[in-house]
A = this chain, B = another copy of it.
Amino acid sequence: MGRLDNNLKIGNEKHFATELITMNEVLKTIGGKWKLKLILALTHGDKRFNELKTFVIGISPRALSKELKELERDGLVKRLVYDEPVLLVNYQLTEIAWKLNGVIRELTSWCAWYKEAFLESQPNDWSHEVM
């Protein structure tokens, strides 16, 4: 197997370098503990700050605020302010965030496989889940 530190580089490795960079970009944008969960929540419709806080179990206002800012900065979420009659702020997915549906679908079906293939043979206790 070729190595990066000699002159003989096989195609796979250059390809992998590109993939690695892509993965870094993706993880910076939708990685972390809350981003995908928030996006998932918003696929069920626009939500307000406190709605998100209720739906996404376990998130603190501080974390929610920070995550939403980052998602907005990165173009995944739009912040819509309605000032009449009271202050309401709605968070809404952008087009590009909606395209994460494919990712979410794959993750979900992978998880189903995973539970069937692995967990049943060797109970990994997810029931202690704190969320």
Contact = CB atoms under 8 A, between A and B. Distances in A.
Interface in A76-131: 95-96, 99-100, 102-103, 105-111, 113-115, 117-118, 122, 124, 126, 129, 131
Kindly report how many copies of this chain are found in the complex they form together.
2
A37 B63 CA distance: 26
A55 interface: yes
Interface of A is mostly: helix
Contacts of A37: 20, 23-24
Nearest to A20: B37
Given A20-B131, A40-B20, A51 B107 contact: no
Interface residues of A, number: 58
Given A12-B44, A23-B36, A102-B110, 5 more contacts: A1-B45, A4-B54, A13-B44, A96-B114, A103-B103
16 contacts: A3-B51, A3-B54, A4-B54, A12-B45, A16-B44, A20-B41, A20-B57, A21-B129, A22-B108, A23-B36, A23-B40, A24-B129, A26-B110, A27-B33, A74-B124, A103-B106
